[in-house]
Structure 1
């Protein structure tokens, strides 16, 4: 009997030794499950590498780790991501963005009409569902989940090209406030892209995983997610590796686009004052918008930036001035300071605190009870916003993870778990809170 036990022990030891040597000297298997962050403004794809335990956010051919959530239709092609954005100014009625706002939602006619008024493309009501009307060489309607599928397909192809393997399985993130229908339609979008979804994970939970909070002793986590178009604040309670969403609030009309728009309005008025002619050419507006967006990003690192934009100003669409002389191209230059940017957006920045206070009140917590403040979304890089949050809580938020990539990093970790990748991680278990409703500010 003792001989049999000894033999079993030897076999187990040999298996452990073989596993160890395999881990050390054999190339790790390619990840087969990808993590997808289908964001309102940008989306990303990541993988968890077996063996090293590292998360990699996969870049496109140009090295960009996120792609715009836009899809553009032409007579000959359907383009997604950066290629779609490049056509947005010349093909606005056929370039769809913000589709995530519409996916899986049932709209009253007047609500959908109000929502669609802000977009250059046409949104129609089909039995309470939103669809987008496209007019190329023929007119047709596409659903929000179809738009999502084109973005997910592009990210799937990015992952396959980078990894050199066929990808058919994924984990995907959704906003915490998404109901069952919205989650199902998001899964449907993935299915249209040829992907089987193994798990749907809430974005705040994914962000908390990216910060490693699923492996440490914290209880109350506040997630501030401020992206290009929306603000979402979630209060998570974690006990024993399980995440419970205690409260949610936000503003679905506040984000980086609004901050850029304030700066665009300011510079447009500067052009009118300096040259006496308003901006009318689409190409001029496009160039100035790009310069303003770049300035906003640079101001997170620098106290001031200089905008230089060549313009071809026309007077009421004519190439001549009122005096009849041809107007030569001009160079618009302006120094934009961080203080000016903060002043232009001060009222918008202050709006961020309203949902923060709401989730604390609804979660029955004092601000001193929050163990970790996690920042998600590129707009949380803005120094004034970080300062606003740290001043309110009396402590610095956790900024150890790239806020643009926090959600996709967490989703990739969960994808590694679902794929059984080594080294093993603690899985994120979410306790559904079906009685929870999101408070929205505007």
Structure 2
């Protein structure tokens, strides 16, 4: 008997030694499951690297790790991501964005008409479902899940190019408020891109995993997700690795785009004051929008930034255009934008962030002192005024140890590693469905 036990022990020791030596001297296997964050404004793809246990968020050919959730149709091709975003001003009727707002939802006719009035592209009602009407060299309609599939296919190809292996399986994140139909249509979008979805995970839970909260002893976690187009605030309860979304609130019409729009309106008015006319050409407005968007991003790091934009304005005293041209010679608009000015232009919008925060605390029957961790997600939470607003309200600093742009995709990639059996093994996040959960919206 003792000999048998000794033999079993020797076999186990040999297996551990073989595993150790293999991990040290053999190249780690390639990840076979990717993590996908199909966001309203931007999307990302990540992988959990076996052996190192690190998450790699994969960039495009220029190294950009966040891809605009935009798809544009021309007479000859369908473009997605940055290429599509570049056509947003010159091909607005055929450039679709915010498709995630429509995926899997059933709309009343008047509600869909009101929602679609915000966009330059045409949204039509097909028995309660939204579709987008495209007019290139012929007219046709596409569904929100088709738009999603083009973005997911783009990210699938990015991952395959980086990893050097074909990818067929993925984990994907969705908002906690998504019902079963919306989740199924998101899965359908992935299937159209040639991907099998192994698991759907809520975005707040994914963000909590990115911050490592699935491995530490915390109970009440508040996730503030402020991206380009929407604000989502979620209150999670966590016990023993299980997450329950206890309350949700948000604003579907508040995000970084709105902050940029305030800055664009300011710039347009400055142009009108300086040159006598506002910019009207699509190309001019496109350049101004790009310039103020860059200024907004730079103001997170610097107290002031300068913008310099050439414009083709039709002014009464503008130089005559070259013969045969209808476009006047350019003038140059220059301005200094300070962080103080940016905060002043947007202060009323920033204050709107606190309303859903207070609501989830009230619905979760918590005082703000009861929140153990405040997690920031989404690029707009980089804005210093927003971080200051949240820290002043709670009396403590939010957790900013993870890149807010990449928090969700990082957590999804960890879950993808778990589903793919990658080593070192991680503790999985188990979500407890809350069938009675409803999201409170502030608009």
Query: Do they fold alike, i.e. is TM over 0.5?
Result: yes
- Aligned with 1:223: secondary structure? strand
Match in the other structure for 2:184: 184
Residue 8 (structure 1) shift: 1.5
> For 1:12-411, what aligned pairs fall within 5 Å after superposition?
12-315=12-315, 328-411=329-412
- Aligned with 1:309: secondary structure? strand
Q: What is the TM-score normalised by the length of structure 2?
A: 0.97
Runs of 4+ with >4 A deviation: 318-321
Q: Which moved more, 1:80-89 or 1:94-103?
A: 80-89
Measured against aligned partners, the alpha-carbon deviations of 1:316-362 in whole angstroms (never above 9, x if no partner) come to 9x9869xxxx9542110101000000000000000000000000000
- Aligned with 1:293: secondary structure? helix
What is the alpha-carbon distance in structure 2 between the residues aligned to residue 386 and residue 289 of structure 1? Answer: 25
What is the alpha-carbon distance in structure 2 between the residues aligned to residue 327 and residue 191 of structure 1? Answer: 49
What is the alpha-carbon distance in structure 2 between the residues aligned to residue 288 and residue 320 of structure 1? Answer: 23
Residue 9 (structure 1) shift: 1.3
Is the 8 Å Cα contact of residues 227 and 256 (structure 1) preserved in structure 2? yes
Match in the other structure for 1:423: 424
Stretches of structure 2 lacking an aligned partner (at least 5 in a row)? 322-326
Q: Which moved more, 1:84-93 or 1:209-218?
A: 84-93
What is the alpha-carbon distance in structure 1 between the residues aligned to residue 315 and residue 35 of structure 2? Answer: 50
Stretches of structure 1 lacking an aligned partner (at least 5 in a row)? none
Measured against aligned partners, the alpha-carbon deviations of 1:137-163 in whole angstroms (never above 9, x if no partner) come to 111000000000000000000000000
What is the alpha-carbon distance in structure 2 between the residues aligned to residue 328 and residue 61 of structure 1? Answer: 35
Residue 31 (structure 1) shift: 0.2
Residue 88 (structure 1) shift: 1.3
- Aligned with 1:190: secondary structure? helix
What is the alpha-carbon distance in structure 2 between the residues aligned to residue 201 and residue 78 of structure 1? Answer: 29
Residue 7 (structure 1) shift: 1.3
What is the alpha-carbon distance in structure 1 between the residues aligned to residue 57 and residue 77 of structure 2? Answer: 27
Measured against aligned partners, the alpha-carbon deviations of 1:364-387 in whole angstroms (never above 9, x if no partner) come to 000000000000000000000000
What is the alpha-carbon distance in structure 2 between the residues aligned to residue 315 and residue 280 of structure 1? Answer: 11
Match in the other structure for 2:434: 433
Q: What is the TM-score normalised by the length of structure 1?
A: 0.98
What is the alpha-carbon distance in structure 2 between the residues aligned to residue 9 and residue 215 of structure 1? Answer: 31
What is the alpha-carbon distance in structure 2 between the residues aligned to residue 62 and residue 327 of structure 1? Answer: 34
- Aligned with 1:234: secondary structure? strand
Is the 8 Å Cα contact of residues 41 and 227 (structure 1) preserved in structure 2? yes
What is the count of residue pairs matched by the alignment?
Answer: 438
What is the alpha-carbon distance in structure 2 between the residues aligned to residue 96 and residue 31 of structure 1? Answer: 32
